[in-house]
Amino acid sequence: PMEPVTGVEQRAVWSLAFLEGFFSTWEYILGLTCFGIMTKEMLKTVPGGNIIATVIATFAIMMWMVWRFSNTSEIRVKQLVRRMGLFRPRVSSHVAIVFVVYLVSFCFTVWFQQRGGKVLFSTSNFYDESTGELLFEKVGDMLFLAPLREEFFFRGVMFSMIYRRMGSIEKDTWRTAVLNSGLAFGCLHAMNFFSEDGPSKLYIALQVFTGLVIGWFYTLRFIATGNIWECIALHVVHNLFASLVPKNLGNPSLYDLTFVVPALSTIIIHAILARIALKAVEKKGGFNYTVIDISTEAATRLPAFTKSGDNHKKEMKAVEQKSGKIVEGELRRRKKNK
């Protein structure tokens, strides 16, 4: 593996990793939009076509992003998916604890808003404004599909991508990867600034800051558990409560305490949860992504600009098998010592 770089080289690699994360976020947004438009157009005459189109677009963008990242980073798709824990669904009691925290916060917010004479929560996001019909497509996307694809991309793909790019910079690369992936997740919500019929600017600004902190919290839980399903479950729980906040709030000001206090309390709660998750990761000893070491080890034994062809594939496969045996042996040793 390469020795850590410093100075100008360090800043250059950091900048490239950040830019790749930024443009990958745009790629995710544009890809999801294009897949959604195409599938909805093709299925517009089919009963339930919008729901089917949303499901197809979700899985299409997930497959595209993992395939592209695997090819550009020389990591096997199967191995990347395995590192996410995608085929090992596991959710800890942490999700139940967070649900209770959300519930208590929700009850406090309702009580606080009732004292102020204005309760903002409603189920208007789930219904069509003109007809009053329940929007199954929107409910399914908000509560299930959006958490699935966003966690798959931001935690499963983007975090791994930034970690890999930063692998030659510093010892605690995972900290910078957590910071950048959370930043990208928060900036994703800034897209609402360009929506003509979207929520108010203050609402979007608070949404962006909340997204930043939540992104860090989810990424840290992903590192702590090594399983993306807990992040998806946490995201579902969050969206369940967040969906009760109507987007058409008019134009609230910073002096509207019935809006600002609950929003700030949400940010503070997630900052505390992120801090607890950070302590859990530090207690675990940080993060070590063996996929990165496998690819780096293979790359150091190959001539420059010859990382393709059958020889390279055989080389990568041999290194992966060897590394897999080492990792399995190390896990058995640690388990025995415990």
On the question of pLDDT at 46 being above 60, the answer is: yes
Q: What is the pLDDT of residue 158?
A: 86
Q: What are φ and ψ of residue 285, in 5° steps?
A: 105, 20
On the question of pLDDT at 7 being above 70, the answer is: no
Q: What is the pLDDT of residue 259?
A: 77
On the question of pLDDT at 303 being above 80, the answer is: no
Q: 248 or 120: whose pLDDT is higher?
A: 120
Question: 157-198: per-residue pLDDT in tens?
Answer: 888 878 877 664 555 677 878 888 888 888 887 777 776 666
120 exposure class (CB count in 10 Å sphere: 0-12, 13-18, 19+): middle
| Nearest CA among 50, 69, 230 for reference residue 151 | 230
Q: With cut-offs at 50, 70 and 90, classify the pLDDT of residue 14.
A: confident
> E strands along 188-229, which residues?
none
Side chain identity at residue 288, one-letter code: N
* Mean pLDDT for the chain overall: 77
Q: Which residues contact 71 (CB under 8 A, 6 or more apart)?
A: none
Question: 200-259: per-residue pLDDT in tens?
Answer: 677 778 888 888 999 999 999 998 888 899 999 999 999 999 888 877 666 666 677 777
44 exposure class (CB count in 10 Å sphere: 0-12, 13-18, 19+): exposed
Question: 308-324: per-residue pLDDT in tens?
Answer: 444 545 555 565 555 55
On the question of pLDDT at 290 being above 60, the answer is: no
Q: What is the pLDDT of residue 306?
A: 34
The neighbouring-strand residues paired with 134 are: 127
Residue 334, CB-side half-sphere exposure with 13 Å CA sphere: 7
Rounded CA separation 264/251 (Å): 17
Q: What is the mean pLDDT of residues 117-136?
A: 82
Q: What is the pLDDT of residue 101?
A: 92
